[in-house]
Structure 1
Amino acid sequence: MQERNAERTKARILAAAIDEFAARGIAGGRVDRIAEVAGCNKAMLYAYFGNKDGLFDAAFSASVAEYLDEVGFDADDLPAYAGRVFDYFEAHPDRLRLSTWYRLERPHGQPLEAIVAVNASRLGELQRGMRRRVVPRVFTPVSLLSLIQAIATSWSSMNPEYGADEPNATMRRRAVVVAVQKILS
């Protein structure tokens, strides 16, 4: 029973850390706020995750795992993948902020195994798709994946003056994102 309580406590800490770091970044995130929201003391947080950087790494890795579970990846249908990425970040803008903080505050940090593994998997799928001629060879796999992700998340970084409040704006923005197939032709 004690192990289940430890797992629940870790899950509460990770959820609180994801929210804190998404809102304030690594530098602005406060361990005391995370511990308070998680309903534990800071000593427990340090016992589980070592330090603030370790906690951020664990929180970001957990966020990536949730994203992957929901979005998936299919090299045979890249427009659908782009649409799912768009949908995910429309529903979870805090997760896009968390990713942005990761890129801003850790541009040269130690690579996270979760990120390395998922990128290797997706790039491998793109390479196999190119060999089968399901994925056009217009770009390298790295360039193609970067381009699709940039297109799928581009609307989230636009100024609100671009009409996000117009009727059907989300559907129209999504239609632009899934038009990624035209770029590949």
Structure 2
Amino acid sequence: MMVYDSAATRARLLDAAYDEFVERGLAGARVERIASAAAANKQAIYAYFGSKDALFDAVLDARLRVLADLIPFTPGDLPGYAGRLFDRFAEDPGLLRLTWWKTLERPDASEAELAAHLDKSGELAAALGVDPERGMDALMIALAAAQAWSTTPPAIRDLGGPPGEGRRQRHRAAVVAAVGAYVATLTE
């Protein structure tokens, strides 16, 4: 007799859905492909998540929570935070692609996303001695800078010399320097 492991099935569905959503976005994703890749049936998706949209939300929540847990936010070192975000996006380009699909298909911030940004920007504003709006500006600039080089088309990235780890480190250094320069303007 085969023992059914619901936690394992749910985890396989989330992993398969992540791959499908990274590749095709919410609109292009198909529950049939997700179920097949997870060695499950379509009904399991509806039983665990209710809908494809809710599955997308679950994938976003799980992956973005992992990102938040892996990259500790240090309000006194925004350039370092941007560098660590850059590293994570470079290591897992699918994560960045998933966030872009979310932005394209669900442009409004979720309550959890908004709360996380408000918390971080508030801590940042306090650390820098600026108003909360400037704290949010600084946080968004750090996020945008961290994403910038990891999404630049290869033909443009490769203008700086041969590909490799040295180039990646130069790009990371540029991200850290740019965020550091912006922070310096706030604290002058």
Normalising by structure 1, we get a TM-score of 0.88
Structure 2 residue matching 1:73: 3-state secondary structure: coil
Contact 1:25 1:101 in 2 (8 A): yes
Residue type of the alignment partner of 1:86: F
Structure 2 residue matching 1:166: 3-state secondary structure: coil
Structure 1 position 9, deviation (Å): 1.5
Counterpart of 2:96 in structure 1 is 96
Contact 1:61 1:115 in 2 (8 A): no
Point out 4+ residue stretches in structure 1 off by more than 4 angstroms.
Answer: none
* Cα separation, 1, equivalents of 2:115 and 2:19: 24
Tell me which of the two structures has the higher relative contact order, counting C-alpha pairs closer than 8 angstroms and 6 or more residues apart.
Answer: 1
When the two chains are superposed, the root-mean-square deviation of aligned CA atoms in Å is 1.9
Counterpart of 2:126 in structure 1 is 128
Counterpart of 1:173 in structure 2 is 171
Deviations 1:136-155 (A, max 9, x none): 66x71221111111111101
- Percent of aligned pairs with the same amino acid: 42
* Residue of 142, 151, 158 corresponding to 1:157: 151
Normalising by structure 2, we get a TM-score of 0.86
* Residue of 132, 139, 151 corresponding to 1:145: 139
Gaps of 5+ in 1: none
**Which is worse superposed, 36-45 or 87-96?**
36-45
Structure 2 residue matching 1:163: 3-state secondary structure: helix
Deviations 1:82-103 (A, max 9, x none): 1100000000000000000000
Structure 2 residue matching 1:76: 3-state secondary structure: coil
Deviations 1:103-157 (A, max 9, x none): 011124xx43431332122122113213xx4xx66x7122111111111110122
Equivalenced residues, count: 176
